[in-house]
Amino acid sequence: MNNIDWLNALETPFLLIDEFRFQRNIDRLYQRTEKLGSQIRPHLKTLRSIEAGRYLLKDAASPATVSTLAEAEAFAAAGYTNLLYAVGIAPHKLPRIASLIRKGVNIHILLDSPEQARAVTDYARANGVTFSVFIEIDCDGHRGGIPPESDALLELAQQIDGNGATLTGLLAHAGESYACRTDEAIRAAARTECKAINIAGQRVRALGIACPVLSVGATPTAHFAEDLTGITEVRAGVFTTFDLVMKNVGVCSLDDIALSVVSTVIGHNREKGWVFIDAGWMALSRDRGTASQAKDYGYGLVCDLYGSPYHDLCVTITNQEHGIIALPADSGLSVDNFPVGTRLRILPNHACATAAMHQHYQVLKSHRNEQETWQRITGW
């Protein structure tokens, strides 16, 4: 493992994906979910990459989730046809949705209000197109959605279905599970998420609306759910690479983290015990997701170039293109352990935010440590 010349040759900073860990993370969740009788609709927002998506989507009709129309259009152009755009639909975005539908893409939109539904049915009628709609269900007060027991849900379902739109599914997202501190808390969040969507599903179906898809998911609940009865699909995104936030939540170990930023030592402040690297927040992101968790990793955990973490060594401060690693007094390390030119890997707080700072990713392939480059889909 110690002779990967290209890791030393590429310009730094760069984002590195470890294919072995990436594949292992995917296998773990897919096998777990299939055993529970459901399937994964992966959220592609973390890496936004066709090349990465191929590991997740077995065939053209495999279900997928996207966070932007830019992703939807790129995955559609790559041949994928079952795409859920899981951000509440804004009316001005309907022409782009309609254009995908006319190309034969089974794209689903999300909404939770009568005014959105009206915009959708009006547009459908005026333009001779039929939309596939998901209604967002609120399971934990985290963001948007309608309570599963509400009259508003039934009214919205009837407003949509058959009026230029098909009510394809209901969606819940246990956003609060990211704040869980124990496995049992995550299991409870998963039960709440499934219960909410099952209640909502029964009530909508009692109206005579088929509503075939019941969709739940967040990376923590996807890994801890014990009973997926009635759940037709589970969404998860960051699980392919994981990160320090997920490690703190208890969903993965440090050794599962498949994404890092490779950086070079560019200087020292000997008096302060500071090591400067060429990865600032432009390469690592401004995400400080571990700041509110039990273990704060600063702007990321420092590893050697081959991925072995230095115990408790973090990027302490970032400027735009500088990172500062403040060596703890009790670490036994001095700046001389990190000569100028030394390369280090930094594990990220939040993989989605770190990946967003890069236009492409370097991939360390399982096969003979070969190199591959994946492109990120940018923009909206």
Euclidean distance between the first and the last CA atom of the chain, given in angstroms as a whole number: 39
Give the whole-angstrom CA distance, residue 236 versus residue 175: 11
| Shortest distance in whole angstroms from residue 90 CB to a copy of itself | 5
Stretch of residues binding a copy of itself (CB under 8 A), selected from 110-118, 161-169, 210-218, 228-236:
110-118
Token pair 């039929």: residue: 130
Three-state SS for 117-133 is HHHHHHHHHHHCCCEEE
In the complex with a copy of itself, the residue whose CB is nearer, 267 or 273, is 267
| Shortest distance in whole angstroms from residue 220 CB to a copy of itself | 15
Q: With binding defined as CB under 8 A, does residue 4 bind a copy of itself?
A: no
Contact set for a copy of itself, span 236-295 (CB under 8 A): 264-269, 272, 274, 276, 278, 281-283, 285-288
Q: Which two tokens stand for residue 70?
A: 């830019």
Contact set for a copy of itself, span 78-107 (CB under 8 A): 87-93, 96
Region for residue 242 given its phi and psi (left: phi exceeds 0; alpha: psi -120 to 50; beta: otherwise)? left
Give the whole-angstrom CA distance, residue 210 versus residue 197: 14
Pairing of strands 317-318, 371-375: unpaired
| Shortest distance in whole angstroms from residue 192 CB to a copy of itself | 18
User: Computed from CA positions of residues 338, 340, 344, 350, in that sequence, does the dihedral angle turn out positive or negative?
Assistant: positive
Give the whole-angstrom CA distance, residue 347 versus residue 195: 35
CB 229 within 8 A of CB 201: no
Task: Tell me which of 49, 116, 248, 260 binds a copy of itself, using CB under 8 A.
Answer: 116
Longest dimension (CA), the chain: 73
Task: Tell me which of 68, 168, 221, 248 binds a copy of itself, using CB under 8 A.
Answer: 68
Contact set for a copy of itself, span 6-65 (CB under 8 A): 11-14, 45
Task: Tell me which of 52, 111, 165, 305 binds a copy of itself, using CB under 8 A.
Answer: 111
In the complex with a copy of itself, the residue whose CB is nearer, 232 or 260, is 260
Q: Which residues bind a copy of itself (CB under 8 A)?
A: 11-14, 45, 67-69, 87-93, 96, 111-113, 115-116, 119, 141, 143-144, 175, 264-269, 272, 274, 276, 278, 281-283, 285-288, 319-322, 324, 339-341, 350, 352-353, 356-359, 378-380
